[in-house]
Amino acid sequence: MTKIVLSMREPGMNPNSDELASVIIDRLGLSPRKEGSTDKMHKTLLELYERQKRANREKKPELAVLTVEEMAILAGITRQTMYDYLKRWLDLNLISKTSFIQGSKVVIGYKLNGQTLEAAFEKAVSRIHGHLDDSKKFVQELQRIIKNEKIKAAQGKNTYSEELDEKTPENEVIQ
C-alpha cells in the first residue's frame, strides 16, 4: 500500500538551496520518518537535479543517473535504508529507474523523471492529483451507497409496518 504523507513545512526568510530542497522533501513526504534520522535526504534531490542539468548540457543521458549507493552516501544512510526511501520517491513519480551500459557492465540507477526539477515535480503533482481524484470518486460512491442503504432500510421498515397493520385486529372488519 502506498502511503503519501504531505507536510505543511514552510521555508524561512531568504532560504538557500539546501533549505528549500529540504522543505520540498518534507512537504512531499520524502524525508525520513523516524525520529533522529538523517536530515540530508535533500542532498539527493539536489544532486539528481545537478546531474540532470549536466546530462542535458552534455547530451549524455547516462550522466543523470545516480546509483542507490551514491544516493545513500549523499543522504548519509545505508544502501538498504535508501532502498526503503526510494519506494516513496518512485510512488510519487518524482524519479524513475533506469539503466545504461558502462564499459561492459550494466549500471542500474535512478534519475529525475523529467528534463528539469520542475518537470519532475509536475509529475509528482499529477500523481497526487490522480490520487485525490480517485479518493473523491470513492467519497461520491460512499455517499451514493449510504443514501441507497437508507432508502432500502426505510422501504423495508415501511413494508414491515404494512404487514403488521394488515395482521392487527384493528383492521379486521366485523360482520
Q: What tens digit of pLDDT does each residue of 69-105 get?
A: 999 999 888 888 899 889 889 999 999 999 988 888 8
In a domain, 11, yes or no: no
Q: Reduce the DSSP state of residue 94 to 3 states and report it.
A: coil
Give the tens place of pLDDT for each residue, 21-45: 888 888 888 876 665 556 788 899 9
Residue 98: all three cell numbers together: 533506469
State mean pLDDT over 144-168.
79
Cβ contacts of residue 59 below 8 Å, gap of 6+?
none
What is the phi/psi pair of residue 34, to 5°? Answer: -80, 140
Which alpha helices (H) appear in the chain, and where do they start and end? 17-27, 41-58, 68-75, 79-91, 117-167
In a domain, 141, yes or no: no
DSSP label at 19?
Answer: H
| pLDDT for the residue 3 | 73
In a domain, 108, yes or no: yes
DSSP string, 108-134: EEEEESSSSHHHHHHHHHHHHHHHHHH
E-assigned strand segments in the chain = 95-102, 105-112
Q: Give the count of domains, the chain.
A: 1
In a domain, 165, yes or no: no
Look at residue 171 and tell me whether its pLDDT is greater than 70.
no
| pLDDT for the residue 38 | 64
In a domain, 152, yes or no: no
Residue 9: all three cell numbers together: 513545512
In a domain, 58, yes or no: yes
Closest residue by Cα to residue 95 from 59, 132, 70, 58: 70
Under the banding of pLDDT at 50, 70 and 90, the label for residue 63 is: very high
Q: What is the CATH number of the domain that holds 127?
A: 1.10.10
Mean pLDDT lowest for which of 74-83, 127-136, 140-149, 164-173?
A: 164-173
Identity (one letter) of the amino acid at 140?
Answer: Q
Per-chain mean pLDDT for the chain = 85
State mean pLDDT over 115-139.
92
Look at residue 160 and tell me whether its pLDDT is greater than 80.
no
In a domain, 56, yes or no: yes
| pLDDT for the residue 12 | 85
| pLDDT for the residue 113 | 93
Residue 171: all three cell numbers together: 383492521
Residue 39 domain boundaries: 17-134
Give the tens place of pLDDT for each residue, 3-17: 777 778 888 888 888
In a domain, 171, yes or no: no
Residues 45, 47: Cα–Cα separation, whole Å: 5
